[in-house]
Structure 1
C-alpha cells in the first residue's frame, strides 16, 4: 500500500511541476508590450498611447509587426489584449553604433488605456548603484538555455556601478555613457528577451542591450540608460506623433 502511494505521489509530481517563480503576477506590468509577426518576437514598454520604447535589437523591420498590449500568456487569447499594427520605427542614430541601443515604435492607432494596459512614466533621475530594480520580458531566465516565449517573466536585480560592469566586458564590448548595468552573482540575472525592460522606483530606466548574465550569471547585464535619453525621446514624440485623423483600425490575431 505504501509503495502504491509513493508511485501515485511521484506520478502526480511529474505530471504537475511547480510553477516557475520567475513568472510575473499576471498583468502586474501593464506597460509591457509583445512585438511579433515580423519574423521574430521581443518586447518593449508603452510610454504613451502612441509610443513604445525598445532596444535597437528589437526594433521591427517589417510593417507586418503587431504590438500586443495587455498580454501575459502569449500563447492564448486572454480577453485583455489589444493588437495594433506598428506604423513607424525610429532608431537612435548613428545606426548600429556601439554607443547607442534604442528605438521608438509608433503604433498605427492609439492604445486604449484599461486596467491591463497603462503607460509607464519615463525617469526623472538616474538609478544609483545598489538600487533594486525589476526586469520583465518573455523568454528564458536560465543561462545558456533557450525557452520559447509564453508567460511574462520577472526578475529582481541590483544596479551595479559602471567600473564593476566594465571589468566584466569581453573584448568586443565597448563602454558607453548610455549604458547602465544590473545583476550580479547569487541573483536572478538572466532574461533573454530582446527588448526586456528595467523598472526602478516605478519608472522606466532601461531596455535590454547585452544579456551578459545569460552567458555567465556572475556578470551584470547591460541596459540602455534611459535617463540620458529623455530629450531624444521627447523630440521623437513631438516630431512623429500623428493626428487622430490618420488612425488605422486595430487588428486581431
Structure 2
C-alpha cells in the first residue's frame, strides 16, 4: 500500500487576516493580543500583536480568520465580521516584522494586504479559560503600547467602525454585556465606545426609551453601595421595534 504524503498547506505570501477581538469586563474595553517572540540583530525581543497570519492558498478569508484565531488563542465559535482591508506599502517597512514573519512562515514575504475582522464579546471566565496556554492576553485599550506591523492603526479603525456600526445595529453593544447588567455598566460601555462622559440622569431617560432594555426584579447583592437594579436585553422586542 502506497504511503500518503502529508503536505503542509501553502501560504499566500501577500494576503493575511488579522482579528480584532474587543471585550468588556464591566469596567474597561479590552483587546485580545498575543505575545510575539523574535530575534533582531542577535537579540531576542518580546512584543505584542493582534492574532493574525497569512492565509492558505486553498481557504477563503472567513475560514482563514476562524482558523487563525483558534490556532493562536484557542477561541472558537466567535462571530467574526470583516470590516476593512489594510494595504499600505508601509505595512511591512519594519525589517523586524518581515524577519519575524519569514522565520515563522519559512518563506519569503514582501508586501502584504491584510483583511481585518472584528468580534465583540463579553469577557468572562469561560471565554478566557485557556488563553494563558496560548500566551494570549486581554489588554485595556489605554494600556496598549506599540504593536507589530500596523496593528495599532487597525485597532483604531476598529473603534471607528464600532461607533458607526452600533448607530445602525444597537444590539451589537449587548454582545459585550453579561446576560443581566446594571444601568451603570451600560452607561460605562457607551462612554468607552464614544470616548465621552454621559450625564447619569439623561442616560436613565435614554434607557427608559429603549423598549428592548427590560428592567428585572433582581438587584445587586453584597455591594457596599446602594444595590442597583439589573436589566436584560430582549432580542424579540428589539427585532419587533427595529422592524
The interval holding the TM-score normalised by the smaller chain is under 0.3
Q: Quick check: which one's helix share is greater?
A: 2
Query: Structure 2 length normalisation: TM-score?
Result: 0.26
Query: Structure 1 length normalisation: TM-score?
Result: 0.25
Larger Cα-atom Rg = 2
